[in-house]
Structure 1
Amino acid sequence: MDLGLQNKIVLVTGGSKGIGRAIAKAFHDEGANVVVTARGKEELDEAAHEIGAFAIPADLTKPDERAGVVRQVVEKFGTIDILINNVGGSNGGAILDTDVRLFEVAMDMNLYPAIDLSKQVVSLMKDKGTGNIINISSIYGREAGGKPTYNAAKAALISFTKALADEAIPYGIRVNGVAPGSILHPTGNWQKRLEENPDKIKQFVESEIPAGRFGTVEEIANVVVFLASEKASWVVGATLNVDGGQSRSNF
């Protein structure tokens, strides 16, 4: 299917590995001009070379570096058509054992970069009357399951997605989200857990994922490129679960 994404300028945060890397590749395969940004320069450069993307190393927890990324993309390509807010991470443990500062750190990693970068690119997109922003959250933003710091940040991201979508759509800018379930890839936490205790993880898959297996990064990426295309022109403010039935929520 031709998704009409040729020559679009796409910025993918957290694009050096895992889901972000797969999203960047999917856009490149659709003929888009892709920019990836992440903190680790060596891994980022390797990913960009493999994909055929332009790399901008940055620590997106820092406001000045976020602004620098947007500035560099605009200097090179003239605009940003599609923003994928994928950067994030988890920390802490049980709520009663976790210092409140770690909740703040989780917001710094998962929420504030998405808010700041979205505000910056909306100002570019408004002039054109078109654009797409897609926020990568988690099914655990809708229900308990992951680390509480991570859950809280992703829940806030899902709420932010709907709020910004309603503000942005009058300007022709669509904002949506994707909430992945448990995804297996070489650099992810599930791979580490699988290596440490394969029997326990096998039991988890059997009891928690109706589809009977982990998802792949490509399955997330396929949904993201669809949402960014005009094939999804009437999808506004939605966060789609992509989880093989894992989520217990019915929305």
Structure 2
Amino acid sequence: MELNLKEKNVLVTGGTRGIGKAIAHAFLQEGASVGITARNQEELTKAQNELGVQTYRKDLTIPEQREELMEAFIKNFSSIDVLVNNAGASYGQDVLQTPISSFEQAMETNYISAVHLSQLAGTMMKRQQDGVIINIASIFGKEAGGAPAYNASKAALISHTKSLSSELIKDHIRVVGIAPGATYHPNQIWQNRLKEDPKYLKKYAENKIPAGRLGTTDEIANVAVFLASEKASWIVGTTITVDGGQSRLNF
């Protein structure tokens, strides 16, 4: 399927590993020009060498650095056609055991940074009367399952996706979201669990995922490039669940 993404300028946050890196790679395969951002310079350098993307070392919890990121991206690419708000992290445990500071940190990382970058990108996209903003949420933004601070921040992001989409669609800018379920990539969390129990992934999939396995980062990335394309022109404001049936909700 031809997605007509050639020469589109795409910014992916949290693009050095996992879902973000797979999304960056998928856009590159479609002929787009891609920039990624993260905090770890070593990981940025590795991604740059592997993918050939433009990189930006920024801490997206700092407002000034979000503004610097957008200014640098526009300077390098002249415009922004697609923003993928993928950067995120989980904080704390159960509600009573999680300090308020961790809730605040989760909201700043997973929600506020995406809202601010959407404001900055949306302003640029309005000038060109075209663009797509994709927010990477989680099935746990729709239902319980993860750490409560994480759940709350992703639920806020899903709500923001709908609100902003209604505001920007009149300017031919679509705002959409993806809610991944459990998706495997060799990060420290999954590796630690496998060290404790080599059969952890198999048992997790059997107990929680009707499809019988964890998702892959490419499966999330495939949805992202589709949503950014003209083929998804009538998808506005919704956050699509991509989880092999893991979610217990029927929407």
The alignment's TM-score, normalised by the length of structure 1, stands at: 0.98
1:57-96 → structure 2 map (5 Å cutoff): 57-96=57-96
Secondary structure in structure 1 of the residue aligned to 2:117: helix
Question: In the alignment, is the contact (CA less than 8 A) between 1:35 and 1:73 conserved in 2?
Answer: yes
Measure how far apart 1:203 and its partner are: 2.1
Pairwise CA distance, 1:190: 2.9
Question: What one-letter code is carried by the residue in structure 2 that aligns with 1:174?
Answer: R
Q: Supply the distance in 2 between the matched residues of 1:124 and 1:248 (Cα, whole angstroms).
A: 38
After TM superposition, list the pairs within 5 Å mapping 1:103-182 onto structure 2. Answer: 103-182=103-182
* 3-state DSSP of counterpart to 2:215: coil
Please give the alpha-carbon distance, in whole angstroms, between the structure 2 residues aligned to 1:217 and 1:48.
Answer: 18
Structure 1 Cα separation of the partners of residues 231 and 132 of structure 2 = 13
Q: Deviations over 1:183-221 (max 9, x none)?
A: 111125234323322334422210110000010000000
Partner Cα distance (2:242, 2:215) in 1: 8
Cα distance in 1 for partners of 2:148, 2:45 equals 32
Give the aligned CA root-mean-square deviation in angstroms: 1.0
Is the CA contact 1:185–1:191 (under 8 Å) kept in the aligned structure 2? no
- Find the aligned partners of 1:119 and 1:151 in 2 and give their Cα distance: 23
Q: Which amino acid aligns with 2:34?
A: V
- Residue 184 of structure 2 corresponds to 184
Which secondary structure state, in structure 1, belongs to the residue aligned with residue 87 of structure 2? coil
Identify which range, 190-199 or 34-43, moves more after superposition.
190-199
- Distance (Å, rounded) in 1 between the aligned partners of 2:201 and 2:28: 33
How many residues align structurally? Answer: 251
Q: Distance in 2 between matches of 1:115 and 1:23?
A: 20
Rounded Cα–Cα distance in structure 2 between residues aligned with 1:106 and 1:155: 12
Which residue of structure 2 lines up, in the alignment, with residue 238 of structure 1?
A: 238
1:197 is aligned to 2:194 = no
**Unpaired runs of 5+ in structure 1?**
none
Partner Cα distance (1:200, 1:32) in 2 = 37
In structure 2, what residue type is equivalent to 1:207? N
Partner of 1:101: 101
Partners of 1:182 and 1:190 within 8 A in 2:
no
CA–CA distance in structure 1, aligned partners of residues 222 and 191 of structure 2:
21
Cα distance between partner residues in 2 of 1:19 and 1:195: 22
Given the two structures, how large is their TM-score scaled by the length of structure 2? 0.98
C-alpha contact (below 8 Å) 1:132/1:174 kept by paired residues: yes
Identity of aligned pairs, percent?
54
Q: 2:31 is matched with which residue?
A: 31
TM-aligned CA deviation for residue 159 of structure 1: 0.4
Taking structure 1 as reference, are residues 214 and 81 closer, same or farther at Cα in structure 2, changes over 3 Å only? Answer: same
Kept after mapping to 2: 8 A contact 1:18/1:188: no
Residue deviations 1:11-40 (CA, integer Å, cap 9, x gap):
000001110000000001100000000000
Equivalent-residue separation in structure 2 for 1:250 and 1:195 (angstroms): 34
Residues 28 and 52, structure 1, Cα contact 8 Å, conserved in 2: no
Determine if contact 1:184/1:191 at 8 Å carries over to the other structure.
no
Moved more, 217-226 or 44-53: 44-53
CA distance in 2 between counterparts of 1:19 and 1:98 reads 26
Residue equivalent to 2:54: 54
Mapped partners of 2:229, 2:38: distance in 1: 24
Runs of 4+ in 1 over 6 A off after TM superposition: none
Q: Secondary structure at the match of 2:107?
A: helix
Mapped pair 1:213 → 2:213: yes
Amino acid at match of 2:173: I
Amino acid at match of 2:72: Q
For 1:144, the aligned partner's letter is A
